[in-house]
Structure 1
Amino acid sequence: MKLIIVEDKNAIGKVVGQIFVNYVQQNPKVVFGLATGSSPETTYQYIIEDYKKNKTDWSKVTTFNLDEYIGLEPNHPQSYRYFMNEKLFNHLNIDKKHTYVPLGTGNYIDYAKEYDSLIAKAGGIDLQLLGLGTNGHIGFNEPPADFNSLTGVVDLVPSTIETNARFFASAGDVPHQAVSMGIKSILNAKKIILIANGPNKAHAVKQLVEGEISNLWPCTALQMHQDVTVVVDKAAAGLLQTRGINLG
């Protein structure tokens, strides 16, 4: 596991965004795994700025998102499909037919069962982006997590519902279930980058980097992967004894 510590979330966006741009430039048909939430926003902003300046060609790129809330239509403002369109896809020349997000309505159970096969048919994920929950969840794999899980329906724990309530009119509007790529699905990626910022993520980052592998901290499953880079700001790295690569 490689650890990179930077100043703030904007620096995270620059470091990680450039890695994504490099992948596209080196392999126009690259397959990405993408995440939602506040953590990756600066990364997506960097990618958009690069596209505006350098016209990096995303037309042949394929993407698979980690998860989606059950009960939200794709055009719902808090759905993750809507998030990805608004925060990234609408600003690139990417073919939306090659951008996959789990379904949250309709035949979402059948689609979830097919999701890992769709990823495999695309050649597997070359680079997977992950955020990190305060309770150590990756995707919506809540503790205690099944490290052998594939994409499927998951229940959200109260702490996750409470954390995500800020995006909704009230806590009562937050869905209690989601479709999420499983831990095994995530570990199938060739390379993984996890990002986290802010002091509220410091305990989870410490468990991820220095803790023992435990399903009570789903993120620790990443210790079993051969190519993981953790990019955090100084606040999120605040409890670490490990010295990472410090980029300011």
Structure 2
Amino acid sequence: MSLRLIPALRDNYIWLLSDEAGQAIVIDPGEAPPVQRILDAEGLKLQAILLTHHHADHIGGVEALLATQPVPVHAPHDERITCASQHVQDGDTVNIPALNMCFEVIEIPGHTRSHVAYYGHGLLFCGDTLFSLGCGRLFEGTPAQMLTSLDRLRALPGETQVCCAHEYTQANAAFARSVDPHNIDLARRSEEVERLREAGRPTLPVPLRDECACNPFLRSDTPSIKAWAQAQGIDDDRVQRFAALRHAKDHFTA
């Protein structure tokens, strides 16, 4: 099985999985042309589209792809996703028989009210909920909802490859180091990210265990983040700590 990311729009990644027989699925195609070019160049047959949430930079290319290869579109229940043919909810399994693959659906509200992730085969397609060294903005959900969603993702096996949908890692690293400056694992990851970006390479996917060691939004219960929160006058409440982290990130400038 081949996993690749396709750069799209300004800083999006569209994920594509394909097998040796030329069967493929795509996750969050924000635009069609870069996906279609790969499908055509390699003779891949699209079998399904998976969507994590309703934002245009994640679903904008679906209709054009369906015009050439009509396939099932799996998406959360949300009236704003009009291209969906198969609605999914927490605990559902999305089966892709042609690729002999299946994915568990995990509801992870916070960034949007209906956001989902797809987990299977050691891969986590988490859209805009979890980023490398960061997390999504709270456009529709509450801090408590997002923290619960991140707790669920954090509990997955450490070897899980995190496949998020934006190249935000470099900017996220600057904020992470400002709140967790003595984290050696974070320092190493930040250096790796700098090298990768200087070489024009993506920083994804990344093992979940690395995120658990480095990402402040997965570490709100650690002594270092508790100390940061206390310095901001935040009481010993994990939701308040998380909310303070997200607020600080929203207003952070490197």
TM exceeding 0.5: no
Q: Sort the TM-score into its range (normalised by shorter chain).
A: 0.3 to 0.5
| TM-score for the superposition, normalised by structure 1 | 0.41
| TM-score for the superposition, normalised by structure 2 | 0.41
> Of the two, which has the highest radius of gyration?
2
Question: More strand by proportion, 1 or 2?
Answer: 2
